[in-house]
């Protein structure tokens, strides 16, 4: 019998589960030991029902919307629900056993009991700066070369920590203190979420909470289907490519999606994507599905919360053995470039259904990883920081600059310079926007960043291609907009070749990291010259860029627009393009 819900009670439940997620996030980041967790906030929290369906996650990190949506497919193979007890906590990072990213991300999952009944699960996912695996000089060729792989395992049993698990994890990390500290922070966040869910069940009753969570998922599914009905029916496709897989540098990798929409039904078919890569750039289907959820939310109704309602509505198709559906055991540690590229490809296809919402490609994700052996302290260190790219331009505005692509927009960010200089042997000597990097257009793509680090000890910087492997097919523009400029890594002003896997640096060397920018929208010759002048005054566009990219002539002395010269140059450019 279906429990009847008071609408006011349902809204209270909705508000409370949202606040539970936010409180879990705060605990997770405030208790993190590593800078990549506590400063760059590479982690997330989620609430699942007793059937392992996602009830709520934070909307601040689209990359992790679907982080917990694949657990239901795998966890029952390891634990039946009757094998779980109050106080148990499960740990895993296996990308083919419930985790949807790579082995560096650990999932901590806690069953929640109220009045003797399993009512929910709280979960956290957080990046670990080091869980073993090769140094940057070697690229993994299978999953087992990527570091410690943990299938779903009881980390806590009836409230007591399993010390054997902790010893195993610590023995496989170059920085065990930070790694275990982050894991314990994940546990603490799950416990807080469990306590709040138990309080909620105590207030409204177990059956009301179960019914409320089910209704929240059904409501999102209904709203999404209604939004889909307003989209034109049809079929559109799009593709994109990575430069290589960090092993076979002469082979580009194409991801392709065909989107078919009819009524309230939609199918994303990735069967036409290239065969899986030898190198670690593959992505498991659970994360590719997430790019579809994100794309639909962005194109239909950005106010929708994410929960299992999206999983119920959105259908996907894959062909096993491709880069977006690799066979178990394929390496996935460098999943980020392809995941972000796929999100842009999905938006590109959906933009053909709704042209007024189309946008240029974002600059993707990425960051920097520098490893040292601790020549002065004797203690190895691993520095990891997420850096800013940009969003593509749209029909109404320029792309947002200095933001972490599409999937990390609301959360990922560089860490505070003071923290880095205190905890690592380095100085951050520059942090700036990259002038002229945004794709030219009537609306300009957002600008990527430049960050420079001066190392004070011997170290090695990871390199995984130029522009996060998007230099051959840069972040594209739409409706006449031009592509963005891609980034790269340089040491003492000399760019590191894309075929290098690491750059060895000495004390005093300066590492410059340039990040990708976003693609433009519309013809650059249609951009208001006053906007171009404003970009020049702000340092976003150079005088040469104004002339070459936009056909706007600006007097270098007075910094004013030469109207006649601009009009003449633009007329000349338009005539040449006919």
**Burial of residue 127 (number of CB atoms within 10 Å: 0-12, 13-18, 19+):** buried
Structure confidence at residue 73 (pLDDT): 92
551 backbone φψ class: left, alpha, beta (φ>0; ψ -120 to 50): left
Residues 6+ apart with CB under 8 A from 478: 348, 351, 358, 359, 360, 392, 519, 521
User: Could you give the C-alpha distances from 543 to 293, 446, 528, 535, 557, in angstroms and in order?
Assistant: 41, 18, 15, 10, 11
- Cα–Cα–Cα angle for 231, 232, 238, nearest 5°? 95
**What's the mean pLDDT when you consider all of the chain?**
96
Distance between CA atoms of residues 363 and 379, nearest Å: 35
Among 397, 385, 364, smallest CA distance to 515 is for: 364
pLDDT at 72 over 60: yes
Query: Residue 140 is encoded by which pair of tokens?
Result: 């993994």
The predicted model gives 344-365 an average pLDDT of 97
Over range 130-144, report the average pLDDT.
87
> Which segments of 205-239 does DSSP mark as H helices, in order?
206-229
Check residues 183 and 378 and name the one with the higher pLDDT: 183
**pLDDT confidence bin for 126, thresholds 50/70/90:** very high
- Average pLDDT, stretch 71-82? 94
518-551 pLDDT tens trace: 999 999 999 999 999 999 999 999 999 999 999 9
Predicted confidence at residue 346, as pLDDT, reads 98
State pLDDT tens for residues 212-231. Answer: 999 999 999 999 999 999 99
Q: What is the band of 137 on the pLDDT scale with cuts at 50, 70, 90? A: low
pLDDT score of 138: 78
pLDDT tens for residues 98-107?
999 999 999 9
pLDDT at residue 147, as a whole number: 95
pLDDT in tens, 282-326: 999 999 999 999 999 999 999 999 999 999 999 999 999 999 999
Confidence at residue 2, expressed as pLDDT on a 0 to 100 scale: 58
pLDDT, average across residues 254-279: 98
Tell me how far apart the alpha carbons of residues 194 and 111 are, in angstroms, rounded to a whole number: 8
**What DSSP string describes 249-289?**
TT--EEEEEEEEEETTEEEEE-TTSPBPPSSTT---HHHHH
Average pLDDT of span 33-50 = 96
Do the strands 54-57 and 153-157 form a parallel or antiparallel pair, or are they unpaired?
unpaired
Spatial distance between the Cα atoms of 471 and 249, rounded to a whole number of angstroms: 13
Q: What are the helix (H) ranges across 51-144?
A: 71-74
Model confidence at 60, in pLDDT bands (50, 70, 90)?
confident
What integer pLDDT is reported at residue 227 of this predicted model? 96
Instruction: Return the closest-CA partner of residue 406 out of 367, 440, 361.
Output: 361
Mean pLDDT of 4-22: 95
Question: How would residue 578 be classed by pLDDT, with cut points 50, 70 and 90?
Answer: confident
Q: pTM, whole model, 2 decimals?
A: 0.96
Residues with Cβ within 8 Å of residue 416, at least 6 apart in sequence: 39
> Residue 382 — very low, low, confident or very high, per pLDDT cuts 50/70/90?
very high
User: Looking at the predicted structure, is the pLDDT value of residue 487 above 60?
Assistant: yes
Residue 577 burial (CB count, 10 A): 9
Statement: residue 420 has pLDDT above 80:
yes
Nearest of 333, 290, 263, 268 to residue 501 by alpha carbon:
333
Share of the chain above pLDDT 70, in %: 99
Give pLDDT, residue 213.
97
pLDDT band at 410; cut points 50, 70, 90: confident
Q: Which residues contact 210 (CB under 8 A, 6 or more apart)?
A: 3, 49, 50, 119
Residues 110-122 have a mean pLDDT of: 97
**Span 554-571, pLDDT tens digits:** 999 999 999 999 999 999
Going by pLDDT thresholds of 50, 70 and 90, the confidence category of residue 489 is very high
How far is residue 158's CA from residue 89's CA, in Å, rounded to a whole number? 8
Q: What is the pLDDT of residue 376?
A: 79
Q: How many other β-carbons are positioned within 10 Å of the β-carbon of residue 375?
A: 12
Tokens 């891609």: give the residue.
Answer: 486
Residue 526 CA, distance from chain mean position:
33
Query: What is d(CA 289, CA 286) in angstroms, rounded to the nearest whole number?
Result: 5
- Residue ranges with strand state E in 128-174: 153-157, 160-161
Q: How far apart are CA 389 and CA 408, in angstroms?
A: 10
- The 10 Å Cβ neighbour count of residue 421 is 15
């Amino acid at each position: 019998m279906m429990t009847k819900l008071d609408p006011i009670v349902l809204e209270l439940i909705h508000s409370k589960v949202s606040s539970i997620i936010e409180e879990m996030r705060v605990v997770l980041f405030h208790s993190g030991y590593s800078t990549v967790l506590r400063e760059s906030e590479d982690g997330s929290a989620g609430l699942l029902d007793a059937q392992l369906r996602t009830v709520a996650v934070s909307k601040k990190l689209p990359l992790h919307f679907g982080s917990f949506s694949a657990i239901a497919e795998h966890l029952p193979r390891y634990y039946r629900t009757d094998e779980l007890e109050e106080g148990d906590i499960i740990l895993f990072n296996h990308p083919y056993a419930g985790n949807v990213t790579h082995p560096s991300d650990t999932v901590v999952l806690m069953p929640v009991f109220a009045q003797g009944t399993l009512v929910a699960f709280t979960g956290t996912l957080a990046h670990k700066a080091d869980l073993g695996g090769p140094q940057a000089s070697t690229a993994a060729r299978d999953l087992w070369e990527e570091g410690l792989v943990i299938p779903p395992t009881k980390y806590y049993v009836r409230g007591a920590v399993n010390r054997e698990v902790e010893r195993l994890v610590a023995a496989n990390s170059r920085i065990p203190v930070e790694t275990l500290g982050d894991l314990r922070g994940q546990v603490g966040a799950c416990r807080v979420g469990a306590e709040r869910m138990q309080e909620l069940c105590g207030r409204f009753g177990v059956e009301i909470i179960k019914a409320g969570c089910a209704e929240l998922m059904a409501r999102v599914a209904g709203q999404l289907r209604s939004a889909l009905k307003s989209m034109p029916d049809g079929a559109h496709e799009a593709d994109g490519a990575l430069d290589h897989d960090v092993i076979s540098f002469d082979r580009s990798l194409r991801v392709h999606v065909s989107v078919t929409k009819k009524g309230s039904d939609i199918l994303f078919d990735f069967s036409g994507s290239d065969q899986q890569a030898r190198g670690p750039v593959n992505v498991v289907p659970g994360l590719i599905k997430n790019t579809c959820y994100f794309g639909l939310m962005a194109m239909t109704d950005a106010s929708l919360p994410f929960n299992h309602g999206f999983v119920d509505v959105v259908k996907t198709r894959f062909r096993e053995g491709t880069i977006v559906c690799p066979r178990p055991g394929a390496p996935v540690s460098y999943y980020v470039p392809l995941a972000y590229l796929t999100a842009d490809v999905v938006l590109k296809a959906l933009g053909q259904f709704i042209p007024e919402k189309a946008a240029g490609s974002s600059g993707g994700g990425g960051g920097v990883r520098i490893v040292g052996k601790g020549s002065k302290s004797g203690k190895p260190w691993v520095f990891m920081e997420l850096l800013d790219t940009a969003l593509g331009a749209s029909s109404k505005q320029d792309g947002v600059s200095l933001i972490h692509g599409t999937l990390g927009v609301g959360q990922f960010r560089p860490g505070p310079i003071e923290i880095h200089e205190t905890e690592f042997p380095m100085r951050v000597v520059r942090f700036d926007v990259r002038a002229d990097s945004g794709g030219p257009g009537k609306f300009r793509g957002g600008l990527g960043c430049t960050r420079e680090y001066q190392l004070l000890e011997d170290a090695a910087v990871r390199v995984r291609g130029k522009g996060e492997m998007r230099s051959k097919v840069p972040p594209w523009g739409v409706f006449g907009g031009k592509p963005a400029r891609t980034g790269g890594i340089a040491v003492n002003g000399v760019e590191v070749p894309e075929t290098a896997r690491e750059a060895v640096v000495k004390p005093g060397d300066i590492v410059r990291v340039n990040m990708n920018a976003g693609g433009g929208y519309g013809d650059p010759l249609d951009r208001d010259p006053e906007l171009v002048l404003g970009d020049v005054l702000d340092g976003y566009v150079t005088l040469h860029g104004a002339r070459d990219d936009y056909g706007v002539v600006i007097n270098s002395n007075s910094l004013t627009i030469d109207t006649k010269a601009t009009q003449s140059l633009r007329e000349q450019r338009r005539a040449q393009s006919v």
